[in-house]
Amino acid sequence: MSNSQYIGRFAPSPSGPLHFGSLIAALGSYLRAHSQQGQWLVRIEDIDPPREVTGASDNILRTLDAYGLHWHGTVLYQHQRYDAYQEQIEQLIHHDQAYFCQCTRKIIQAMGGVYDGRCGQCYPRLTQGAIRIRNQAKVESFTDLLQGNVTVDSHFATEDFIIKRSDNLYAYQLAVVLDDAFQGITEVVRGCDLLEASCRQISLFKQLGFNTPAWLHLPLACAEIGFKLSKQNHAPAIDTKQPQTSINAALSFLGQPTVDLDSVDIMLQQAVAQFSLPGIPKQKEIVLKRSNVAT
């Protein structure tokens, strides 16, 4: 595989069925990858069992298939990668680039809401609790291909953040970086709810010595301002029996021309052929009409 080959991905969590907001991220990343003659991978981010819904992973894959969003290669499940996450954490601790922390949320609130790194200064080192990266890169800004220059609060950027939780679950920030590096992802296309978190992920890419992908954050589909469609707020599942209408609604949301109603494969071929990155609205969120919320 050439280093210049485009590799994108769609990485849902199995906390419920795909809704219209999920479709935006899936379709947007699919169109971008195929318009670049690249690969489009699917990864199931199942590292938080308490939030997962039984059968959701299979349901997500069936829905993608019903929409003609066929992925390259095999699906990667994050639960298959626990050994890799743990190995990386042990290396970081061994080189004093990570440490245990026993500060509670209440303690951090007393610090002003930003963790001050105190547990990293303890001698002897703590041996229990959450594990934090000793944040060395401290990335405060990056350029997004759609949203432009993105700058985060300096306290957020410099904080030593958690890479393994006190309940022994691996943190998203670590898992997503290791998996993107493992899969050779060259560009991350996803929703703006993860826009600021990208700075922490870029910090990890740099600190771990990985190539950093490009970033493209799509507008969020919202029921009202500040209220994105999500599985947590029970956004309705998209229709798998007649997906053509939802595909055109998603294309319209992304500022793309709608396509002729046909088989999903033919519709997607047409959508890829006329895909235009400049056509996507440069907004962080778009409030939907009620008819689209229920699509």
Report the pLDDT value the prediction gives residue 293, as an integer from 0 to 100.
47
Instruction: Collect all residues with Cβ–Cβ distance below 8 Å to 209 and sequence separation of at least 6.
Output: none
C-alpha pair distances (Å), 109 with each of 29, 64, 130, 158, 162: 37, 42, 17, 17, 16
66 is in an annotated binding site: no
10 is in an annotated binding site: yes
* Cα(245)–Cα(23) distance, integer angstroms: 12
pTM above 0.85, yes or no: yes
**What DSSP string describes 83-125?**
HHHHHHHHHHHHTTSEEEE---HHHHHHTTSS---GGGG-SSP
Rounded-to-integer distance, Cα 11 and Cα 180, Å: 10
As averages over each run of 10 residues, the pLDDT of the chain (295 residues) reads 77 95 97 98 96 96 98 98 98 97 95 94 94 97 97 95 97 98 98 96 98 98 74 78 96 97 97 98 88 48
Between CA 35 and CA 50 the distance in angstroms is 37
Res 294: pLDDT? 47
Q: According to the annotation, is 12 in a ligand binding site?
A: yes
pLDDT for 3 equals 42
| 103 is an annotated ligand-binding site residue | yes
The two beta strands, 7-10 and 39-44, are parallel
Q: What does the pLDDT read at residue 148?
A: 97
Task: Please indicate if the annotation marks 284 as binding a ligand.
Answer: no
* Residue 13 annotated as binding site: yes
56: annotated binding-site residue? no
Helix 244-253, helix 264-273: angle, nearest 10: 20
Whole-angstrom distance, CA of residue 89 vs CA of residue 66: 39
Instruction: Say which residues have a Cβ less than 8 Å from residue 191's Cβ, sequence separation at least 6.
Output: 21, 24, 25, 217, 218, 219, 220, 228
Q: Is 115 annotated as a binding residue?
A: yes
Residue 190 assigned to a binding site: yes
Give the domains, in start order, of the chain with CATH numbers. Answer: 7-81+182-195+208-293 (3.40.50.620), 82-164 (3.40.50.620)
Residue 222 labeled ligand binder? no
Known binder of ligand: residue 9? yes
Residue 14 in marked binding region: no
Torsion of CA 173, 176, 181, 187, to 10 degrees: -100
Q: Is 90 annotated as a binding residue?
A: no
CA 87 to chain centre: 22
